[in-house]
Amino acid sequence: MMRSSALSLALGYVALGITVLILFAAPLWYAWQVTIAESRVEILQTDAQRLTEVYRREGAEGLKSFIDARVGMQIVGERILLLTDASMRPLAGNLKQWPGNVPTSAGNYDTEVAVAEHGNESALIHVANIGSYHLLVGRDNVLFKPLQTRFWYGLSAAIAVLSIAGLLIGLITRRALMTRVHSIRQTVSAIIHGDLQHRLPTHINEDELNTLSRTINGMLDQIEQLVHGVHNVSNSIAHDLRTPLAELRSRLEELALIRPAPEETFAEIDGAVADVDRVIRIFDALLRLAEIDAGMRRSGFVSLDATDLAANAAEFYEPAAELKDIELRFSAAGPVLISGDPVLLAQALGNLIDNALKYAPKNGTIEVAVRKREDGAAEISVTDNGPGIGAAEKSKVVERFYRGDASRGTPGVGLGLSLVQAVAKLHGSLLELLDQTPGLRVVLTIPADAVVGSAPRPSLAVEPPSPKPVATNLAPSPTP
Amino acid sequence: MKILLVEDNERVTQFVVKGLQEAGHTTDHAGNGRDGMFLAASEPYDVIIMDRMLPGDIDGLAIVEVLRKTGKRTPILILSALSEVDDRIRGLRSGGDDYLTKPFAFGELLARIDALHRRAQGIDHEHPLTVGDLHMDPLTRKVTRGDRPISLQPREFKLLEYLMRHAGQVVTRTMLLENVWDYHFDPQTNVVDVHISKLRQKIDAEFERPLLRTVRNAGYSVTADE
């Protein structure tokens, strides 16, 4: 029980409450004791002085009758008076004899004395010696005792209420927490056993557990999606690798069986190598995707110019477009600094332009444009005037290994747009596929570079770059 | 060329050694890190081909690091089954000069070894390049064939410069992608071929003897030889 966090928290608060109460009560108690006791002693001393003066003025007889008068006047017990002679014989006052526990020497004493008809009572006593007489002046504590008692009762009651309430609140909180934690635990263990569809219960209010549950649910969504993705991918791999492997196998088997003429054998071997290359290409694409999905490439983020990147990509594909009589245009207003992975962004952009080249008609146009959005993000778009993508297909084209009807008969393994989407996701943005009637407009939005002045990534090229006397890739050179 | 191959896979070894032999190179082979380290440190080689993952406690990158620390400048090509960009960066950072992912085409390996060897002899960025009657001045960026000036786009200039620096050697499409465009992915369509044919139009079309040749199953080569 003590290990429950709710309970120990409640107990902690109780202890704190008690400490505060004591810190409050202790000075009060001290002030009371010191101040009130002192003023009471003062009153007794003044009394004794007055009696002493009566003795000086009127002698022992005068004092005796004065005391008798006082005793007869007042409420019995409130004030204690006793005058004795040197041999301790009582002369006047309301005590029958000098109390045994009060010394005869002058001073103040808080003790019990036997008052007539009242039995023992606690009282504050002042003793003074006048000539050879002993004078005892006192006041009982009857008025102060209940106050004291009430003070202690009050304090104890406060502590008791605090402790019980704290314990109760702790127990209730613990119960409530345990109920919710229990339901979370049940869900989580269902998930551990493989049922990824469960989600933690959430409420409308935004308390801590609820926020945590929501976050965990978000994580579960992501995990489910990933697991689903992996499942799909492994199915697709099985299918898409099987095809070229089957071709390869039959090709080799045929070679072994037929043993054709050397010329034909070499041609078949070349074909077999091409089959293997196709398998390797699929593998490379999948590995790259896995690498991106794992989020490992975020370390490769540097500050770079989106315009420069897009201009280079457009320039790279321009001759290929020309060959197909497609006009490839590039437009940009100026440099747009973003934070990203240059290798992956170049590949993503390459894939987009490559796709556009596949689908744009003869004499068609492709436009690559970079625009700086108001929040500083770079909006890179690739627009073609090909057949476009139907609404039903839009969500599918980014799926791994999906190949639309329009792609039949074109080379490719159906991973291009998946890679672009994965790259977009890695850069914290989404891939937008917009209708262009006719055609398709793909928009990739990369957030602005937050870190100013991060070092540019060194080129991965093996050979040291030659000194650049001409601004080859510095200016956004629009392709003709 | 005298080449050291440090590689534990027997089939790959057989394939590479035989291929290098046919290309006229002598090859020593070490099957593990210890032998590889010993040979690399004691014998003079023109190029070392180093597998990244080796049996035993010494891996390829460790050997490369030790060799570089002891001042050996022999060009090293790292072979690896790890294709991720970060692995490539790590390989080059440890002191490797080039990085090739397994599986690879032999033509690619051979072309890269030639390029490494050429590079080790020093790149001169200032002196004019000449192949047959084709001249290029990297400083003034003037290109002429015979006495006719040829006007090139900046990227075409870079492409031709790379080819001419490796004149007489085979240069693969991947090497061109990496070194001319700094692209580290497979662009699927034959974009490099299209760039080459555009370049060929400018430097070869109106001349009798073509200089820019296609090498089947490997890549391209600029050469004045018959």
Burial of A346: CB neighbours in 10 Å, binned 0-12, 13-18, 19+:
buried
- When the pLDDT of each residue in chain A is averaged and rounded to a whole number, the result is 79
* Nearest-CB residue to B181 (from A288, A316, A322): A316
Tell me if domain A208-293 and domain A299-446 are identical in fold: no
Instruction: Give the mean pLDDT of A396-424.
Output: 66
Q: Return the H-helix or E-strand segment holding A197.
A: none
pLDDT above 90 coverage of chain B, percent: 33
pLDDT band at A182 (very low <50, low <70, confident <90, very high): confident
Is residue A74 pLDDT above 70, yes or no? Answer: no
* Contact assignment for B194 to A319 by CB distance below 8 Å: yes
Chain A residue closest in CA terms to B193: A320
Give the least confident one: A257-261, A405-409, B27-31, B211-215: A405-409
pLDDT at A192: 85
pLDDT band at B49 (very low <50, low <70, confident <90, very high): very high
Is residue B77 pLDDT above 50, yes or no? Answer: yes
Instruction: Give the mean pLDDT of A274-285.
Output: 82
- Give me the residue label for tokens 């902690």: A12
The predicted-structure confidence for A315-351, as pLDDT tens digits, reads as follows 999 988 988 899 999 999 888 888 888 888 898 899 8
Tell me how crowded residue A265 is: count the other CB atoms within 10 A of its CB: 13
Is residue A475 pLDDT above 80, yes or no? Answer: no
pLDDT above 70 coverage of chain B, percent: 97
The predicted-structure confidence for A92-143, as pLDDT tens digits, reads as follows 887 778 887 788 788 888 877 776 666 667 778 888 888 788 888 888 777 7
pTM: 0.60
- Give me the residue label for tokens 């120990």: A8
Helix, strand, or coil (residue A259)? coil
pLDDT at A160: 92
Q: Which fold has domain A208-293?
A: Helix Hairpins (1.10.287)
Q: Name all domains of chain B by residue range, CATH numbers in brackets.
A: 2-120 (3.40.50.2300), 129-222 (1.10.10.10)
pLDDT band at B5 (very low <50, low <70, confident <90, very high): very high
Give the least confident one: A211-215, A314-318, A469-473: A469-473
- Give me the residue label for tokens 């196998």: A249
Is residue A405 pLDDT above 60, yes or no? Answer: no
Q: Return the H-helix or E-strand segment holding B145.
A: strand B142-145
pLDDT above 70 coverage of chain A, percent: 84
pLDDT at B192: 92
pLDDT band at A369 (very low <50, low <70, confident <90, very high): very high
- Give me the residue label for tokens 């050291």: B4
- Give me the residue label for tokens 């690739």: A382
Residue A472, min C-alpha distance to chain B (Å): 5
Query: B34 versus A237: which is more confidently predicted?
Result: B34
Residues from chain A that touch B175, judged by Cβ atoms under 8 A, are 462
- DSSP type of residue B166: T
Residue A218, min C-alpha distance to chain B (Å): 29
The predicted-structure confidence for B150-175, as pLDDT tens digits, reads as follows 999 888 999 999 999 888 888 999 89
Query: A201 versus A154: which is more confidently predicted?
Result: A154
Helix, strand, or coil (residue B104)? coil
The predicted-structure confidence for A20-66, as pLDDT tens digits, reads as follows 988 988 888 888 888 888 888 888 888 888 888 888 888 888 888 88
pLDDT at A298: 63
Instruction: Determine which of A288, A316, A341, A479 to mutate to test the interface with B (most B C-beta atoms within 10 Å).
Output: A316
pLDDT at A116: 60
Is residue B48 pLDDT above 90, yes or no? Answer: yes
Q: What number does CATH give the domain A299-446?
A: 3.30.565.10
Exposure class string for A404-439: b at 16+ Cβ within 10 A, else e: bebbeeeebbbbbbbbbbbbbebbebebebeeeeeb
Residues from chain A that touch B128, judged by Cβ atoms under 8 A, are none
The predicted-structure confidence for B83-122, as pLDDT tens digits, reads as follows 677 778 888 888 889 988 888 888 889 999 988 888 877 7
Say how far apart CA A75 and CA B166 lie, in whole Å: 128
Say how far apart CA A102 and CA B208 lie, in whole Å: 142
Is residue A451 pLDDT above 60, yes or no? Answer: no
* Nearest-CB residue to A320 (from B105, B119, B189): B189
* Nearest-CB residue to B186 (from A281, A323, A469): A281
> Could you tell me if A288 lies within 8 Å of chain B, comparing CB atoms?
yes
Residue spans per domain, chain A: 5-147, 208-293, 299-446
CA distances from B135 to A199, B131, B164, B200, B205 (A): 71, 7, 9, 15, 16
The count of residues in chain A is 480
Is residue B76 pLDDT above 90, yes or no? Answer: yes
pLDDT band at A382 (very low <50, low <70, confident <90, very high): very high
Q: For this complex, say whether ipTM is above 0.90.
A: no
Say if residues B52 and B79 touch (Cβ distance below 8 Å).
Answer: yes
pLDDT at A412: 56
pLDDT at A299: 65
pLDDT band at A3 (very low <50, low <70, confident <90, very high): low
* Contact assignment for B88 to A460 by CB distance below 8 Å: yes
Q: Which fold has domain A5-147?
A: Beta-Lactamase (3.30.450)
Say how far apart CA A147 and CA A129 lie, in whole Å: 33
Is residue A157 pLDDT above 80, yes or no? Answer: yes
* Nearest-CB residue to B141 (from A315, A416, A469): A469
Instruction: Give the mean pLDDT of A256-279.
Output: 86
pLDDT at A79: 75
pLDDT band at A399 (very low <50, low <70, confident <90, very high): low
Q: Return the H-helix or E-strand segment holding A432.
A: strand A431-435
pLDDT above 90 coverage of chain A, percent: 9
> Could you tell me if A284 lies within 8 Å of chain B, comparing CB atoms?
yes
* Nearest-CB residue to A350 (from B162, B187, B198): B187
Chain B residue closest in CA terms to A463: B179
pLDDT at A400: 61
